[in-house]
Structure 1
Amino acid sequence: MTATKPAQDWIKRAEPSGHVERIEAYFRGHGYDMHRHDTYAIGRTLAGVQSFHYRRGYRHSLPGGTIVLHPDEVHDGQAGTDAGFRYRMVYVKPALIQQILGGRPLPFIRDGISADPRLYAATEALLQSTTRPIDPLREDDALYEMAQALCAAAGHKALRRLPDYAAANRARHYIHASLEQAITLEQLARAAGADRWSLSRDFRALFGTSPYRYVMLRRLDQARRLIAAGRPLADAAADAGFTDQSHLTRRHVQTYGLTPDRWRRMLQG
């Protein structure tokens, strides 16, 4: 009988982005010795048991929770079972979180693991597969949502302030005039004459959705108008600002629950 060769440890890094580092890794036993980062290390265990020493305790992360290691906190990592563990992690500078929070204290998750579903949902975009690039506007959206979810999970009370309607509306008009090109939060902030994180907060408060999702919905509106007028799906996708037809299809299914091709075939009159 041939013995099964043990799996090899590996680490995959995503292509560098503007603000964060993303990895996915597998360790079959010992992962890494005690060390510390000057960033937040936020992630999730995908398979197995991820065990680590943290703040005078020994933690065990399972799939379904969120790991939140505070900047400059010492920790190690190893498999909690013989099966090894696989995980994804994103590293975010505390200065960036501070920009989003506007000078509020950094949120702290005491045990290094959170079961808060708001935090799990808010980290989904940043913790997707490392083989999938993240649209810059979506990344900024996700960072904002993650910072707010960190505050909620840490028990911080939300601050209330009057949103700047004029600035947010200037950003909205810029979106409508620029759907055929890539749009970043920096561009929206310049058009609005506002700080990008204040704009991100105010846009949600005033228009009910994030800047990234608003862009996607307006592109879907444009694509549907073109498809209804008889344009081929690939042409409609390109003219509405999607990277390709499959990108349009994914977003259409996520928003409406059916493919654009099926929607086109169902149109009457």
Structure 2
Amino acid sequence: MEVASAGGIEVFLGDLSVSRDAIWESDLGRGYWLGSILDGTVSVEQTRFGRTCWEPGSAVAFYTSEAIQVQHRALKDGNLSAVFVRIPDASIDDLLGEDGRRLLESDHSCRSDPCPGVISAIAWQMRASTLTGIARRCFLVAKALECVSQSIQQTQKRCPLRSIAPRAYAWSARDIERFYEARAILLDALASPPPVAELARSVGVNARKLSDGFRDLFGEPIYAFVKNRRFEEAKRMIEAGEHSIGHVARTMGYQQQHFSTEFRHRYGVAPKSLRAKQSRHTED
């Protein structure tokens, strides 16, 4: 793997020959990670974000405030090629400022980037460069910042700074602990989450305070958080191929027809089509 770093940003260019079902692990340090898969298909399971499938053309982005362990499993024989960019946690304030840190900390998902075509094109430029030495390092870091700017722009559209204003930091440590407790309760009951009033009572705050604090801390209202996590988990279950579409829908609290419609609107593909696609990947 080639590694280049300068000015508080790190670039990783990796090419690896893998066999189907080969498994390996890696540890990712704290900070903001952005990557593009250029060749190969791999199932990735992270201790914090769960399981996802990375394939050619996909771009992934996430922020983690703590080191996380990642397990990879190759889904086919052949070459695995990817470009990853990291802004270490200690460099975020210098590169992106206080607003940038708040923006990244508000996004608690490992998402497939909304502009993978742009990110992928830049990643291919990085891989194809024939520059050497200092010139190559400058080029790679400059392109890495271009990738980051594209990803940050999309994050700003989803989580505008006005929704994560500095007042999020006005909550007491005890309040923040309660908001995280409420979040954990919701994650344990995605199919049938408690009403906001009941959830608020269970963590010892009133409903208005919980709603405001939850939005400030996690960047989205409670109902949106539940819906987004439901579909993220549903997508993971479908990609894993462990249950029928009907079972996944019921587990997430939906009728199958309604679930399929919502899933298609969200991901641009029907659940059955995604299941079939994953089955083909597994068979290859």
Query: Is the TM value for this pair above 0.5?
Result: no
| TM-score bracket for the superposition, by shorter chain length | 0.3 to 0.5
Which structure: larger Rg?
1
TM-score scaled to structure 1, two decimals?
0.43
